[in-house]
Structure 1
Amino acid sequence: MPIIDTLARIHPVTARAHARERLHRRRDTREAAATRHAALDDAITRLGITTTDLPHTRSALTVWESAPHLSSTGNRILLAGVTGAAMFAIDKYVAPPLVDLAMNALGTVAPDFAHQANPALEGMNNGEPWQFSAATMMGQAVVLAVPLAVAALFLLLLSYAVASRHPRWPYSLVDETAKALAQCADLYEAQLTDLRTSSRKVDRRSRAVEQHVLDAYRSSRTIPRRSPRRAPARQHGQLVAAALRRQLTQIDVDPRQGVQDYAALVAEVGERYAEGRVSSLLPEEKLAGLTPPSPALTTFRESLHIAGGIVAAALAAVAAAALLPKLGFIPEDLSPWLIASAAAVAGILTAGWHRVARLIPFFGP
């Protein structure tokens, strides 16, 4: 921060304030790192894993806690500003031709239906009240869904671009493995009544670990884009993801032994990654006879889930906007909140909370 450093050299009061701020930051970092190390020790002890002290994992967690948070106020303001500008550009320049294209496609499939919907669209553009026939609602759904889909796609790409350039990004796999170990320990000690909840948490965390393993050749930032080392590292990550997935299925055979063996694999993957062994996250004997999962198929399925959630949210918003005025007793000030709630619930039920939650940190408090 060169401006603060310059002010610190100019005025002694600024220098003292800057020194106190750095001292508080280092103290908070030490406390956060100590908390993560204690949680890691606790998880390993509860699981009874015969492993090393995981020194590289501890060092990576310390760096993770010392890096600035992606959810800081400045980053959120920047993301909100860029997203707002992008929404304006999408609504003014991108959405109209896409809406026309969608209506032309609708006219090809159902020309009578599209012919009834077009007047409603023209009325909406002129500020006229919404109409609530089936055809006009379809046209209005197209008007809402197309800009929302484009804006959501832009937001996903923007969030990935910002996250992939953040100082924490190379250590995200270690962070996920540490969290996975804690949840595996909860499942290992879970009673029969808590088994369902704990196993679902481990399953959700395993998907995050698997995705970070598949992206390890990129997120580590140790392999240049055009390096010949990139392809072997990517193929190795696919085999490691397959090994983790195979071991995860053993939880349903023997929950305690299965989760213990899975946690041991996760700990080994995190330690080797933190050590810089991107192409040797697991030894070769543990990868024998495995068929790697298809990253393209996994990405396509995730994209379908997200697209389905966006469409469901748009349709729910249109349905709520059509139904609320007919009820008659809903205050007008409350209607936008109910419409947004209906869209959020539909998106969560369709795409899943863990997918919707990826966008929340960029706009939450």
Structure 2
Amino acid sequence: MPEGAPTEARPVQLRVVASAVSEVSKAVRKAHRTRGTLAGFSHRRRLLKRHAGVVVTALRRAEARLDTDPDQALTELGRLVMKIAERYVEGRLGQLLDDDEVTGLQPAPDREPLRLAVAAALFGAASYGVVLAPIPEAAQTYLVGSCGLLILTTVYGRGARKALEVITTLRGG
């Protein structure tokens, strides 16, 4: 936090930092896809995904210190993010952080595939239920769409808009 920042502003500033750490974590998880250094089914993918999970754990551990020592935690987070960015630019996806910074850490679980599967299963069940319901056919389309929006909002929360953007991209919109 900036020195002399009002105490009332700290919670808001900490939420901003937490949101930024979340965005960095997502980018780290996608780095093996976005950097363009791997073939589609490379044997190196699993190692890079594991390293990304460990890097996310290191970021989360530094973020957790915001509640006990915010100034030191911000310094540490800034250092980690700068190192990750530099290494990404250099193409060092398997060493976004040094070994001593990730030793003993377990990779953070990636729940995105599970979320996608849950959303798809719920949408399929809701669509089937709507088709079986005794409602006019013209209303079914709108009800299925509404169910889809509700399910995405429930499963993805604030990230529902991004999930909708992915769907738009897939259908060619």
TM interval, shorter chain, is: 0.5 to 0.7
Q: CA contact under 8 A between 1:308 and 1:351: conserved in structure 2? A: no
How far is 1:282 from its partner? 0.6
Q: CA contact under 8 A between 1:309 and 1:351: conserved in structure 2? A: no
1:302 to 103, 107, 115: 115
Aligned in 2, Cα 1:197/1:305: closer, same or farther, shift over 3 Å? farther
How far is 1:300 from its partner? 4.8
Residue ranges of structure 2 left out of the alignment (5+ in a row): 128-141
Residue correspondence of structure 1 range 87-236 to structure 2 within 5 A: 188-189=1-2, 190-236=5-51
Query: What residue is the counterpart of 2:69 in the other structure?
Result: 254
How far is 1:357 from its partner? 4.4
Asked if residue 291 in structure 1 is aligned to residue 106 in structure 2, the reply is: yes
Instruction: Give CA-to-partner distance per residue, 1:111-154, whole Å, 9 cap, x none.
Output: xxxxxxxxxxxxxxxxxxxxxxxxxxxxxxxxxxxxxxxxxxxx
How far is 1:269 from its partner? 0.2
Aligned in 2, Cα 1:310/1:239: closer, same or farther, shift over 3 Å? same
Question: In 1, distance between residues paired with 2:122 and 2:75?
Answer: 35
Residue correspondence of structure 1 range 342-353 to structure 2 within 5 A: 348=153, 351-353=156-158
- Counting matched residue pairs gives 150
Query: What residue is the counterpart of 1:161 in the other structure?
Result: none
How far is 1:308 from its partner? 9.8
With the length of structure 1 as denominator, give the TM-score of the two structures.
0.35
Aligned in 2, Cα 1:193/1:310: closer, same or farther, shift over 3 Å? farther
Instruction: Give CA-to-partner distance per residue, 1:4-47, whole Å, 9 cap, x none.
Output: xxxxxxxxxxxxxxxxxxxxxxxxxxxxxxxxxxxxxxxxxxxx
One-letter identity of the residue aligned with 2:97: L
Q: CA contact under 8 A between 2:122 and 2:151: conserved in structure 1? A: yes
Q: Alignment identity in percent?
A: 26
Aligned in 2, Cα 1:310/1:291: closer, same or farther, shift over 3 Å? same
How far is 1:358 from its partner? 4.5
Question: In 1, distance between residues paired with 2:164 and 2:24?
Answer: 19
Question: In 2, distance between residues paired with 1:299 and 1:279?
Answer: 21
Q: CA contact under 8 A between 1:309 and 1:348: conserved in structure 2? A: no
- Superposition CA RMSD, Å: 3.5
